[in-house]
Chains A and B, each alone.
Chain A
Amino acid sequence: MTDAKILAFGGYQPDRVVTNDDLAKIVDTSDEWIRSRVGIQSRRIADDDETVTDMAEAAGAKALAASGLAPSAIDLVIVATCSPIVPMPSVSATVAHRLGIVAPGAFDLNAACAGFCYALGTASHAVSAGSARNVLVIGAEKMSSWVDWTDRSTCIIFADGAGAAVVGPCAENEAPGIGPVVWGSAGDQASKITVTGRTGAMQQDGQAVFRWATTAMHPVALEACTRAGVTPADISAFVPHQANLRIIEAIARKLGIPRERVADDIVHAGNTSSASIPLALSRMAEQGRLQPGTPALLIGFGAGLSYAAQVITVP
């Protein structure tokens, strides 16, 4: 069996910056309120004509370039997304075509904000099983198109962007670069985060989701560490879904991971659902905040409710 590892990351954000003060002009909120409750200072929002597919392509292109692989070396493309405008065709097949990847396996995966970790686990399994050699994994979201811009409880949180990773085989005798994924769901709480109907907007029971995320996620993260054979003290970077800075800090505190090792990309990126983890990883890599060869802990969680976590080796 061939183990898998991450070769490179790539990220993309739309140009348009929306500050908290901008939002205070359209809903009853304030910069102070948003910063203290959610931790966001600004976010990026795509223009009307910029699609999930466009953003996925941009992030995918960067990850592919950073990996040094030719498009022809990719034989599977997985796009984690919950916000495409149409359910078909898939984002992944079009993105693959635009990137010059010829006839790869291609599918979209929806596990909402947990999507990237599900997709990364699936990519790792495909490499291990021999059904793919190199996989392009993308998380891409245009949450702004599903948000009610008169609902101050959600429109201040969600944002747009994409992040990607290239997954390939480990060398012989090289330790696995993607640890076992710990994934699960709580369908009994499906009503906590929903979009109702084709023209509906996102609704979230913020308090219930906060309670769930701050109590049920750190055991999942710990399990991912255990299954990868590491402890939280070994983790050089903790990159949870950038849902809410208060959730991120609560989980990190319970795991005993010091603040300087914890991703806080949400401050300027907002909550980009399945894109948030690879977007944070690509930015941290660019800024030299990741130490190659060390273990990083990822955990995604959100609508479903669903969640997934794994330990990766930083490329």
Chain B
Amino acid sequence: MTDQEILAGLAEIIDEIAGVPADEVTPDKNFVDDLDIDSLSMVEIAVAAQDKFGVEIPDEQLKDLKTVQDVVNFVSKNS
């Protein structure tokens, strides 16, 4: 899967769970500061990402994934 495909899939998930329009989900965006996504929504996003990409994102890891690009990198590296 290319980074672009992961980004598109992630944007879909974030739209569904947090109601953030997909075109706002760009790599440099910070989840908390830019997209107003809280820690519980991050858990839901992680679970949905696991279903979609087959990559488990444990809670311990989640706190280090601060930007959209961080998640794309993590999924890319572990898939």
A residues at B contact (CB < 8 Å): 36-37, 207-208, 210-211, 214-215, 246, 250
Interface residues on B, range: under 10
| B40 in contact with A246 (CB, 8 Å) | yes
Give the CA-CA distance A214 to B47 in the complex, in Å: 9
Choice from A36, A37, A208, A214 contacting B44 with Cβ under 8 Å: A214
| B39 in contact with A207 (CB, 8 Å) | yes
Does B38 lie at the interface of the complex (its beta carbon under 8 Å from any beta carbon of A)? yes
Cβ contacts B45-66/A at 8 Å (1 or 0 each): 0110000000000010010000
Does B43 lie at the interface of the complex (its beta carbon under 8 Å from any beta carbon of A)? yes
- A interface SS class: helix
Inter-chain contact count A-B, CB under 8 Å?
21
Shortest CB-to-CB span from B16 to chain A, Å, is 10
Known: A207-B59, A208-B59. A214 touches B43 (CB 8 A): yes
Q: CB-CB < 8 A to B47: which residues of A?
A: 211, 214-215
Choice from A37, A211, A214 contacting B59 with Cβ under 8 Å: A211
Contacting A at CB under 8 A, from B6-59, are 38-40, 43-44, 46-47, 59
Q: CB-CB < 8 A to A250: which residues of B?
A: 44
| B38 in contact with A37 (CB, 8 Å) | yes
Q: CB-CB < 8 A to A210: which residues of B?
A: 40, 43
Question: Which residue of B38, B39, B40, B44 has the most chain A CB atoms within 10 A of its CB atom?
Answer: B40
Q: CB-CB < 8 A to A208: which residues of B?
A: 59
Shortest CB-to-CB span from A40 to chain B, Å, is 14
Kindly list 6 other residue pairs between chains A and B, CB separation below 8 angstroms, not including A208-B59, A214-B44, A246-B40: A37-B38, A207-B40, A207-B62, A210-B43, A211-B46, A214-B43
